[in-house]
Amino acid sequence: MRRFTPLPLVLVLALGLAACAADDDPVEPVDEPMEPDMVETMAGPDTTGAAVWAFLGDEAYQTNWGLWPDKGEFYTGQEPHGMLLTTYLNATAMEALQGGATEMPAGAVIVKENYMPDSTLAALTVMVKVPGYNADHNDWFFSKHLPDGTLDQTPDGMAMEGRLTGCQNCHAARAANDYLFTGDLGGEPMASN
């Protein structure tokens, strides 16, 4: 009689596949069933602004996620993102950054809060890594939200969600750093704090 595959083997396979996904090669769909707690770390929101906002609420990101290392709250930003910034990484993104990854893995989510000089929240910009979603721009989903979660709009009235030209063209200046400006990927592995 055939026995069901023992759990550790499934885990080893899943970890092996996750390691392959870190290469530059296109990510193959993973057919292996994943353990429930791996799904929790790897799954990101769907690619709509509304789903992203709901995900951030469910995650209570301000409480449960980490700040970009060495940045703290209300650090001084550059154009166009506003005067004071606070940037959060979910666990998937944080582990990749601190582990010295050269690109963000599936399900990495980065939220940057833009504050006015008087510390009033003005807007939030979000980047979510979704394999297969945006091949020309390292598979990033972009969105920009007002503080109540509604999507900001472009000057011609389009909701700011998806493969946003303005966001991705500017961030492409950092294509070698997986489109991220704030810090350099591929550093020495850091101790998590």
Which residues of this chain interact with ligand HEC, rule CB under 6 A?
Answer: 77-78, 80-81, 85, 87, 110, 112, 125-127, 142-144, 160, 164, 166-167, 170-171, 180-182
Pair 129, 140: CB distance under 8 Å = yes
| Nearer to ligand HEC (CB atom), residue 57 or residue 166 | 166
**192 contacts: CB under 8 Å, gap ≥ 6:** 94, 95, 98
| Nearer to ligand HEC (CB atom), residue 127 or residue 130 | 127
Min separation Cβ 111 and ligand HEC, Å: 7
| Nearer to ligand HEC (CB atom), residue 34 or residue 109 | 109
Distance CA 103, CA 100 (A): 9
Distance CA 93, CA 99 (A): 10
Min separation Cβ 104 and ligand HEC, Å: 10
Using alpha carbons, select from 68, 123, 75 the residue that is nearest to residue 93.
68
Min separation Cβ 89 and ligand HEC, Å: 9
Distance CA 20, CA 24 (A): 9
| Nearer to ligand HEC (CB atom), residue 34 or residue 105 | 105
Min separation Cβ 126 and ligand HEC, Å: 6
Min separation Cβ 43 and ligand HEC, Å: 19
Distance CA 50, CA 88 (A): 19
| Nearer to ligand HEC (CB atom), residue 87 or residue 92 | 87
Q: Which amino acid is at 3?
A: R
